[in-house]
Structure 1
Amino acid sequence: MALSFRSSIFFAALIVTTTYTFGQEFLQAQGKQIVNEKGQPVTWRSMGLGGWLLQEGYMFRLGNIGTQHRIKESIAQLVGEEKTKQFYDAWLTQHTTKADFDSMAAWGFNSVRLPLHYDLFTLPTEKEPIAGQQTWLTKGFAITDSVLSWCRSNKMYLILDMHATPGGQGNDLNISDRDPGKQSLWESDANRQKLIALWKKLAKRYANEPYIGGYDIINEPNWGFTDSADKRGTAEKMNAPLRQLLIDMTKAIREVDTKHIIIIEGNGFGNNYNGIFPMWDNNLVLSFHKYGNFNTLPAIQKFLDYRDKYNIPLWLGESGENSNTWFTECIRLVEENGIGWGWWPLKKMGLSNPLEIKIPQGYEQLLNYWRGNGPRPDSTTAWNVLQQLLNNVNIRNNIVHRDVLDAMFRQVQSKGTLPFKKHVIAAGTTVIPAVEFDLGEQGQAYYDKDTASYQFTPGVHTQGNRGHSYRNDGVDITSNDAGASIFSIEEGEWLQYTIQVKKGGNYQLGFNTTVEQTGAQLSLLANDRILIDKLMLPVADSKQSFKTIWVKNISLPAGTTRLKLLSNKGGFNLQSISFIKE
Structure 2
Amino acid sequence: MKITGIQERRDFLKKAGLITAGIGLSSPSVFSISDQHPNPVNKLPRWRGFNLLDFFSPEMEKGRKNPPEHLQWMADWGFDFVRIPISYPSYLNFDRSKPILKEEVLNFDEKSLEQIDRLVFHAINRGLHVSLNLHRAPGFCINAGFIEPYNLWKDQEALDAFCAHWEMWSKRYQNVGSDKLSFDLVNEPYMRQDPNDQHSPGGPVPVEDYYRVAKAALNTIKKISPERLVIANGNGGGGIAVPELADLDLAQSCRGYHPMIISHYKASWVYKEPDTLPQPAWPGEFNGQFLSREMIENHYAPWIDLVKKGVGVHCGECGAYNKTPHQVFLSWFEDVLDVLYDNGIGFGIWEFSGTFGILNSGREDVDYEDWYGQKLDRKYLQLLMKYA
Return the TM-score normalized by structure 2: 0.69
Show CA shifts across 1:440-485 (max 9, x none): xxxxxxxxxxxxxxxxxxxxxxxxxxxxxxxxxxxxxxxxxxxxxx
User: Is 1:354 aligned with 2:358?
Assistant: yes
User: Is 1:199 aligned with 2:166?
Assistant: yes
Deviation at 1:303, TM superposition (A): 1.1
Match of 1:254 among 222, 227, 234: 222
Please give the secondary structure, in 1, of the residue aligned with 2:224: coil
8 A Cα contact 2:42 2:311, kept in partner? yes
Partner of 1:240: 208
Partner of 1:429: none
Please give the secondary structure, in 1, of the residue aligned with 2:176: coil
Match of 1:338 among 340, 344, 347: 344
Q: Look up the equivalent residue of 1:399 and give its one-letter code.
A: K
Q: Look up the equivalent residue of 1:121 and give its one-letter code.
A: Y
User: Is 1:17 aligned with 2:16?
Assistant: no
Please give the secondary structure, in 2, of the residue aligned with 1:203: helix
User: Is 1:301 aligned with 2:304?
Assistant: no
Structure 2 distance, partners of 1:141, 1:353, is 26
Structure 2 distance, partners of 1:48, 1:195, is 22
Show CA shifts across 1:126-172 (max 9, x none): 756x94983221234212221222123211111111111123233x4
Partner of 1:326: 332
In structure 2, relative to structure 1, the CA distance for the partners of 1:139 and 1:184 (3 Å cut) is farther
Q: Which moved more, 1:263-272 or 1:104-113?
A: 263-272
Q: Look up the equivalent residue of 2:70 and give its one-letter code.
A: D
Show CA shifts across 1:70-118 (max 9, x none): xxxxxxxxxxxxxxxxxx63x55x8211111011111221011111111
Partner of 1:264: 232
Deviation at 1:267, TM superposition (A): 1.9
8 A Cα contact 2:100 2:148, kept in partner? no
Show CA shifts across 1:478-499 (max 9, x none): xxxxxxxxxxxxxxxxxxxxxx
Partner of 1:287: 253
8 A Cα contact 1:12 1:108, kept in partner? no
How do 1:140-539 and structure 2 match up within 5 A?
140-170=112-142, 172-173=143-144, 179-180=146-147, 182-186=149-153, 188-210=155-177, 212-223=180-191, 231-234=201-204, 238-273=206-241, 276-281=244-249, 284-293=250-259, 294-295=292-293, 296-308=296-308, 310-321=309-320, 323-348=329-354, 350=355, 352-356=356-360, 397-410=373-386, 412=387
Q: Look up the equivalent residue of 1:258 and give its one-letter code.
A: P
Structure 2 distance, partners of 1:257, 1:222, is 28
Q: Look up the equivalent residue of 2:375 and give its one-letter code.
A: I
Higher strand share: 1
Deviation at 1:340, TM superposition (A): 1.1
Please give the secondary structure, in 2, of the residue aligned with 1:214: strand
User: Is 1:116 aligned with 2:86?
Assistant: yes
Percent identity of paired positions between Structure 1 and Structure 2:
20
Structure 2 distance, partners of 1:115, 1:193, is 21
In structure 2, relative to structure 1, the CA distance for the partners of 1:127 and 1:222 (3 Å cut) is closer
Say which one has the larger Rg.
1
Task: Show structure 1 runs of 5+ residues with no match.
Answer: 1-5, 21-30, 36-41, 56-67, 70-87, 360-394, 414-582
Match of 1:100 among 60, 70, 85: 70
Aligned pair count?
A: 309
In structure 2, relative to structure 1, the CA distance for the partners of 1:306 and 1:181 (3 Å cut) is closer
Of structures 1 and 2, the one scoring higher in RCO (CA 8 A, sep 6+) is 2
Show CA shifts across 1:401-444 (max 9, x none): 1111001113x59xxxxxxxxxxxxxxxxxxxxxxxxxxxxxxx
Please give the secondary structure, in 1, of the residue aligned with 2:255: strand
8 A Cα contact 1:120 1:139, kept in partner? no
Please give the secondary structure, in 1, of the residue aligned with 2:55: coil
Aligned-pair Cα RMSD in Å: 3.6
Q: Look up the equivalent residue of 1:280 and give its one-letter code.
A: L
Please give the secondary structure, in 1, of the residue aligned with 2:84: strand
